[in-house]
A and B are shown apart, each in its own frame.
Chain A
């Protein structure tokens, strides 16, 4: 066997392995989209591997009418939006203070921030529940957003690293022009930090759109149900009604897949330098 032939075979084998991996990854998504477009009657008669004939949107229509999925989509979108704005604004504030200002207690406080990165969610969920209960916020919109609204130590950590790299002359020049801190943030710091802020925004949207345990614990009933909790409820209540259930899961993952495909360069690059959450 010649060297050329051997390297050609190597390339072919690599392609095949990657193709197999991609197919295994995509198959569950494709199967559930197809099933969500199949009528329950056809699914019952022909099983899960049949092509939808005819293609029907009835499962999605049922999802929004009979199974009341409008509220979860609206609630989830509101929760994500409020958390997104809060996290970005407050994390930028805190990160700027840690990165560019000198004040007594700075290093000690930053150490506390780093330490909280190590506290797992499984540990805080029960005390947070009892705290929300104590102040009468259980099953409210604020219970869903408050624990995340004021920024995350992780975001502060990430932004601080970035803000430290901004040339001091830029900020000094703005200050000499009479800019206050808020104007410096708006007109200097934020514009030069667009890529990292975009990444952080995508990370925040993904994390909170997908959040399940906290909403499951702190809300009850249909009023403040988010999309993950609604999907779990639908699945356990109508186990076997797979055409509607796959419509729900498709609805739960599709917005993020679109978001990710739009911003994938940003996210892929930054995941590898930051480690995400």
Chain B
């Protein structure tokens, strides 16, 4: 039997590759992004220290704030829609009708595919003259070129990709509710609506919390499909989501320092949003059926 020292050595040998990866590709970048935020760098020439000048510049130039607003609107479109539709789909799937398992798999399909590829597919479907949707409707609506329609269209595509995924979680949540709870309510004379609002929804709260928190975090970082549907921020920057703004700032305008400031800004926003959601859910009662 080897001693304590040998076992520690084994553990660190096993951990070494993973530790290297985490240190270099996840922890170090956080330090580097702070460094970049304090420097001006155009990728081609060496960087120079500028202190907080990038922060001032990003704050003065309204586009970062604009992109945060666009993203917030995008989140406000997508999250309620995908949560409600996902829950509705889960309730239908959970009725145990013939073919339920197939419906569940079909609804998840978009979520497995590359968002970029689906964005390209929808760009064609929503194309003004030779797109499938306008041909079907007999219209010539500029879904993606009209500044008023572009963001809702992009949000709708995003919802289409997420509904099945959200439904998966709600199906699992619904299956975890013991049938006895519903049976007792039926005996007490509760109708289907009453049971939904008073039993199903409160008992689904942990699932809802998970779906909302992960959904909001993902939605705040949306990039691929938006890039494919409406490049360069869309008509009049109406779909200029924050992840896209960071990308264009760094790799089109070559203002890497500004982009680093924006990335840090996004990080802060995500932390705040997550904490707020946690507080909001913590204030409400959760029901533990295991006791």
Distance between Cα atoms of A7 and B249 in the complex (Å): 57
Query: Would you call the interface of chain B mostly helix, strand, loop, or mixed?
Result: helix
**Are A209 and B25 within 8 A (Cβ)?**
no
Evaluate contact between A25 and B131: CB separation under 8 angstroms. Answer: no
- In the bound assembly, the distance between CA atoms of A91 and B14 in angstroms comes to 9
Whether the Cβ atoms of A272 and B172 lie closer than 8 Å is: yes
Q: Which of A17, A102, A228, A240 contacts B117 (CB 8 A)?
A: A228
Determine whether the beta carbon of B26 is less than 8 Å from that of A119: yes
- A123-B266, A217-B251 known; A48-B224 Cβ under 8 A: no
A188 to chain B, nearest CB (A): 15
A166 interface residue, CB < 8 Å from B? no
Given A149-B21, A181-B14, A253-B114, verify A28-B109 contact (CB < 8 Å).
no
> Do A210 and B116 touch across chains, with their CB atoms under 8 A apart?
yes
In the bound complex, residues from chain A placing their C-beta under 8 Å from that of B122 are 28
**Is B18 part of the binding interface, using a Cβ–Cβ cutoff of 8 Å?**
yes
Q: Does B282 count as interface, using CB distance less than 8 angstroms?
A: no
Please determine whether A103 and B21 come into contact, CB atoms closer than 8 angstroms: no
Q: Which residues of A contact B124 (CB under 8 A)?
A: 32, 35, 48, 242, 245-246
Contact B28 A131 (CB under 8 A): yes
Residues of B within 8 A of A153 (CB): 22, 26
Q: Which one, B53-61, B92-100, B145-153, B183-191, is touching chain A?
A: B92-100
Q: B25 touching A94 by the CB < 8 A rule?
A: no
Our pick among A101, A104, A275 for the contact of B10 (Cβ within 8 Å) is A101
State A119–B112 Cα separation when bound (angstroms).
23
A75 within 8 A of B: no
B25 touches A147 (CB 8 A): yes
Chain B stretch 8-52: residues in CB contact (< 8 A) with chain A: 8, 10-12, 14-15, 17-22, 25-33, 36, 41, 43
Question: Max chain A CB contacts within 10 Å: which of B19, B41, B43, B231?
Answer: B19
B18 touches A151 (CB 8 A): yes
B32 touches A131 (CB 8 A): yes
Q: Closest residue of chain B to A253, judged by CB?
A: B113
Q: How large is the interface on A (under 10, 10 to 19, 20 to 34, 35 or more residues)?
A: 35 or more
Which residue, of B28, B103, B104, B127, has the highest number of chain A Cβ atoms within 10 A?
Answer: B103
Q: Which residues of B contact A213 (CB under 8 A)?
A: 223-224, 243, 247
Q: Which of A21, A118, A149, A240 has the most CB of B within 10 A?
A: A21
B171 within 8 A of A: yes
Tell whether A77 is near chain B: CB-to-CB under 8 Å.
no
Q: Nearest chain A CB to B245's CB is how many angstroms away?
A: 10
The yes or no answer to A14 lying at the interface (CB within 8 A) is yes
* B92 with A22: CB separation less than 8 A: no
Looking at A53-61, A109-117, A192-200, the stretch in contact with chain B turns out to be A109-117
Select from chain A the residue with minimum beta-carbon distance to B95: A14
Q: How far is the CA of A149 from the CA of B20 in the complex (A)?
A: 10
CB pair B17 A151 closer than 8 Å: yes
B88, closest chain A residue (CB)? A17
A47 in the interface, Cβ–Cβ < 8 Å? yes
Which residues on A sit within 8 Å (CB–CB) of B92? 14, 17-18, 21
Q: Are B120 and A18 in contact (CB under 8 A)?
A: no
B132 touches A126 (CB 8 A): no
Q: In the complex, what's the smallest C-beta–C-beta distance from B69 to chain A, in angstroms?
A: 17
Q: How far is the CA of A90 from the CA of B89 in the complex (A)?
A: 38
Query: With A122-B243, A153-B26 given, is the CB distance from A18 to B103 under 8 Å?
Result: yes
Q: 5 nearest interchain CB pairs?
A: A150-B21, A94-B18, A127-B32, A272-B172, A210-B114
Given known contacts A120-B267, A127-B30, A240-B127, what 15 new A-B pairs fall within 8 Å (CB)? A17-B92, A25-B107, A94-B17, A97-B14, A103-B11, A127-B32, A127-B260, A212-B115, A231-B114, A235-B228, A236-B231, A252-B113, A256-B113, A256-B114, A275-B169
Q: Could you give 21 example pairs across A and B, Cβ below 8 Å?
A: A18-B89, A18-B92, A18-B93, A21-B89, A25-B109, A31-B125, A32-B124, A48-B135, A90-B18, A116-B26, A122-B221, A122-B242, A128-B29, A156-B18, A181-B10, A231-B116, A240-B130, A249-B117, A252-B116, A261-B105, A268-B168
